[in-house]
Chains A and B, each alone.
Chain A
Amino acid sequence: MDTDQLIRSLAADNAHRVPRVSAVLTVALLVAAPLSILIFATFLGVRPDVMTAMRNPFFDMKFAVTLSLAIPAIVVSLHLSRPEALMRGWGWLLLLPVGLLAVAIGSEAMMAPAMPMTMRLMGKNSRVCLVAIPAMSLPLLAGALFGLRHGAPSHPALTGALAGLLSAGLAATLYASHCTDDSPLFVATWYTLATALVAAIGAAVGSRVLRY
């Protein structure tokens, strides 16, 4: 087939329209979310003292941190799904949760400690955290990669890592309502490790499935 003939067939297909990447990503995440919620409801559940916990600013801070990871990661991954997109000017969005955590760690350090620092950092749930966040992330990660496949990212591994960050951010939001460790030191350590693991999985899978 010569190129003129190919062009003719492409022009004949011009009427074919597909939804935007943002729409496909949204639907894919909405389809995946019940699976993650099912894992949460089956194995974890909301902590029993949630009503009192809500009065603790460090409990609330966990949601601010996880959502400030998930939402910017969604925005940046959609940006990267366009072929000509550069990371320049967008990376700082991903520093939001880091900044929030730094502020939280600072404010906790200024208060009279209820527990020694190592106990706050190690917590009681570090192992559960390291398993639960990645496990709840996996359905969301699959959905995110499916949605972003609809785009044309020039950096598949980076975009896959962003898919990992956004799914870990959403999964961590669920997990935060279960976990009784509210110290920002715990969050900065274990949530970050779990998130890094999911981001690495996203990058590895993304480098294969996000090529177009």
Chain B
Amino acid sequence: MRGREDEWTGLMRSAMAGDDAAYHRLLKAVTPVLRAAARRGLARAGQPPDQAEDIVQEILLAVHLKRHTWDSEAPFAPWLFAIARNKLIDALRRRGRRVFVNIDDFAETLPGEAPQETASASEVAAQLGTLPQRQRDVLQSIAVESASIKDTASKYSMSEGAVRVALHRGLAALTAKLRDH
């Protein structure tokens, strides 16, 4: 446990120093831990675990957009888990309300019904569709088609700077939409 968390702190320091690969590795490394926590939280709240991935993605976006609040002298894990906890609580609160309404509406059809098939992370995908064209194109290209910033720039005849701006604005807009919807 200790060793894993020290490794995270080291990776985050490298990431903040500009090492994109270290950042990628860090996010990959924390994701299973966040996923397990999200599943546990949903289970404890008596909700199906199929929304865990939406919560994981919300946490990752918040981690990304708020990483300047991490103090590079401090260990990374407590900071990460504080954000994860806040996002999980928010998500459960939102879903709690929604689930409550659903149960009122469909109380009679519920018993014996098979749980819904796992639909992984539909919310980010849904909100992606509401972004301005350019931000959506850039996010699609980099995330889904795993193109580099450079390739994306030449594909849409944009400057690399413009791609970077569109990428960041897109991620920030996604986060705001997820929070407020």
Residues of A within 8 A of B (CB): 1-21, 81-84, 151-152, 154, 211-212
The 8 closest A-B pairs by CB, nearest first: A11-B24, A83-B82, A84-B82, A152-B66, A9-B143, A5-B143, A7-B27, A10-B64
Q: Contacts of A12 on B, CB cut-off 8 Å?
A: 20, 142, 148-149, 167
Q: Contacts of A13 on B, CB cut-off 8 Å?
A: 64, 164, 167-168, 171
Closest to B165 in A: A16
Query: Which of A15, A17, A84 has most chain B Cβ within 10 Å?
Result: A84
Q: Contacts of B66 on A, CB cut-off 8 Å?
A: 83, 151-152, 212
* B18 on the A face (CB < 8 A): yes
Assess the B168–A16 pair: CB atoms within 8 A: yes
Q: Contacts of A2 on B, CB cut-off 8 Å?
A: 53, 120-121
Looking at chain B's contact residues, is the secondary structure mostly helix, strand, loop, or mixed? Answer: helix
Least CB distance, B109 to chain A, in whole angstroms:
31
The contact of B62 among A3, A14, A20, A212, by CB within 8 Å, is: A212
Least CB distance, A87 to chain B, in whole angstroms:
14
* B78 on the A face (CB < 8 A): yes
* B71 on the A face (CB < 8 A): yes
Q: Contacts of A211 on B, CB cut-off 8 Å?
A: 90, 179
CA distance A122 to B120 in the complex (A): 64
Closest to A19 in B: B68
Least CB distance, B32 to chain A, in whole angstroms:
10
Assess the B164–A16 pair: CB atoms within 8 A: yes
Closest to A81 in B: B69
Looking at chain A's contact residues, is the secondary structure mostly helix, strand, loop, or mixed? Answer: loop
Assess the A83–B31 pair: CB atoms within 8 A: no
Assess the A11–B27 pair: CB atoms within 8 A: yes
Least CB distance, B101 to chain A, in whole angstroms:
22
* B23 on the A face (CB < 8 A): yes
Assess the A152–B62 pair: CB atoms within 8 A: yes
Given known contacts A3-B31, A18-B68, A10 and B171 CB-to-CB distance under 8 angstroms: yes
Residues of B within 8 A of A (CB): 15, 18-21, 23-24, 27-28, 31, 53, 56-57, 60-62, 64-66, 68-71, 74, 78-79, 81-83, 85-86, 90, 120-121, 124-125, 128, 139, 142-144, 146, 148-149, 164, 167-168, 171, 179
The contact of A152 among B23, B71, B83, B90, by CB within 8 Å, is: B83
Query: Which of A2, A15, A152, A154 has most chain B Cβ within 10 Å?
Result: A152
Least CB distance, B144 to chain A, in whole angstroms:
5
Q: Contacts of B69 on A, CB cut-off 8 Å?
A: 21, 81-83, 151-152
Closest to B74 in A: A84
Q: Contacts of B70 on A, CB cut-off 8 Å?
A: 82
Chain A to chain B contacts (Cβ below 8 Å), 23 pairs:
A1-B128, A1-B139, A1-B143, A3-B57, A4-B28, A5-B146, A6-B124, A6-B143, A7-B27, A10-B27, A11-B20, A13-B164, A13-B168, A13-B171, A15-B20, A15-B164, A16-B164, A17-B68, A21-B68, A82-B69, A82-B70, A154-B86, A211-B179
Closest to B179 in A: A211
CA distance A17 to B15 in the complex (A): 11
Q: Contacts of B146 on A, CB cut-off 8 Å?
A: 5, 8
Closest to B71 in A: A82
Q: Contacts of B57 on A, CB cut-off 8 Å?
A: 1, 3, 6
Given known contacts A17-B68, A152-B83, A84 and B56 CB-to-CB distance under 8 angstroms: no
Given known contacts A1-B124, A83-B69, A152-B69, A9 and B82 CB-to-CB distance under 8 angstroms: no
Assess the B15–A1 pair: CB atoms within 8 A: no
